[in-house]
Amino acid sequence: MAIHITTPTVESDAFSTPDQRVWLKLEALQPCGSFKLRGIGHACEVHASRGATRLLSSSGGNAGIAVAYAGRRLGLPVVVVVPETTREWPKTLIRRQGAEVVVHGKSWMEANDHLMSLRQPTDAFIHPFDDPLLWDGHAPMIAEAATQAPKPDAVVLSVGGGGLMSGVLQGMHAAGWQDVPLVAAETVGAHSLNAAIAAGELVTLDAITSLATSLGARRVSEQAFAWTRRHAVTATTVTDAEAVQACLDVAKEHRVIVEPACGAAVAATLKREVPALQKARNVLVILCGGACATYEDLIDWRTAS
């Protein structure tokens, strides 16, 4: 039995127009709150079958929560090392699954270095986004969507490190959707894919300045960037304020709480500035979710912006 669940794809009357129907793939309904469980659950199962006796993660966000959940389901101990900047709520969610949380360092790099110093030969390190096992696990969400809604004229998703994008594009090609353009949304200040496409090569951002920290990869993965050479991908950006408002719109209209990282995809869809969206009759939005923001956080961020 898979660790993740099959999620519904629902038609959003609130986000649609008379000329365009918007469909939401509700990955926010995964047991740990985000799409991460698909790829990470698959990777953890593979490593367990190869003899791993412990799972390691250096993510204080949704990836860490997913590793903790998968470890509990597999009966394997989990250690998650997070930097000092990690908020209490995600640490609570990780501990809730029985995982050990270690706080170390002022940045993810320091936390990750410490995690690697703890690594034993039978441990499995689960990368948050840059691993073919993750892409293999994410891809089937498109096969599901293909049975739940009309073939879209465009697919919209949020991009952080590029794991979701790589898996979705893999799934789109497996489903025969090679002709469907992909709109990749980022927030300003976490726009590593947008910067790479503009430069024609991978770019490392000086810093992440967006509050959408789940999109906070300063450099997008090589695999995600390589896909932009193989598929029609349009990178677009939204502001933090637009992403937060989109999250509040999702909460109001669909009664689901998602992070600003996810709200970026919804905001890009609702702006309809990208030509691929202006021409689309049916749009599939991957509502990737995120468990690290509460409704109170969204209200505070709206007020601050």
Instruction: Provide the CATH number for the domain around residue 139.
Output: 3.40.50.1100
Q: Do 171 and 296 reside in the same domain of the chain?
A: yes
What pLDDT is attached to residue 59?
Answer: 85
- Is 236 contained in some domain? yes
Beta strand pairing call for 9-17 and 20-26: antiparallel
- Is 2 contained in some domain? no
Residue by residue, pLDDT tens for the chain (305 residues) are: 789 999 999 999 999 999 999 999 999 999 999 999 999 999 999 999 999 999 999 987 899 999 999 999 999 999 999 988 888 999 999 999 999 999 998 877 788 899 999 999 999 999 988 899 999 999 999 999 999 999 999 999 999 889 999 999 999 999 999 999 999 999 998 899 999 999 999 988 888 888 877 767 788 989 999 999 999 999 999 999 999 999 999 999 999 999 999 999 999 999 999 999 999 999 999 999 999 999 999 999 998 86
In single-letter form, the type of residue at position 272 comes to R
- Is 254 contained in some domain? yes
Domain end position, chosen among 92, 125, 158: 125
CA-to-CA separations, 230 to 132, 166, 183, 194, 239, in angstroms, rounded: 17, 11, 14, 16, 28
Q: Do 147 and 259 reside in the same domain of the chain?
A: yes
- Is 3 contained in some domain? no
Domain count, the chain: 2
Q: Please tell me the pTM assigned to this model.
A: 0.95
Q: Do 153 and 171 reside in the same domain of the chain?
A: yes
In the 3-class helix/strand/coil scheme, how is 91-148 assigned residue by residue? HHHHHHCCCEEEECCCCHHHHHHHHHHHCCCCEEECCCCCCHHHHHHHCHHHHHHHHH
Distance separating alpha carbons of residues 208 and 182, to the nearest angstrom: 24
Domain end position, chosen among 125, 146, 181: 125
- Which residues on adjacent β-strands are paired with residue 10? 24
What pLDDT is attached to residue 107?
Answer: 76
What pLDDT is attached to residue 85?
Answer: 83
What pLDDT is attached to residue 215?
Answer: 66
Q: Do 93 and 239 reside in the same domain of the chain?
A: no
- Is 283 contained in some domain? yes
- Is 289 contained in some domain? yes
Contact call for residues 143 and 25 (beta carbons, < 8 A): no
Collapsing DSSP states into helix, strand and coil, what is residue 266? helix
- Residue 184 is part of which domain span? 9-35+132-304
Altogether, the residues listed in the chain come to a count of 305
Distance separating alpha carbons of residues 52 and 18, to the nearest angstrom: 52
Distance separating alpha carbons of residues 54 and 65, to the nearest angstrom: 15
Q: Do 44 and 69 reside in the same domain of the chain?
A: yes
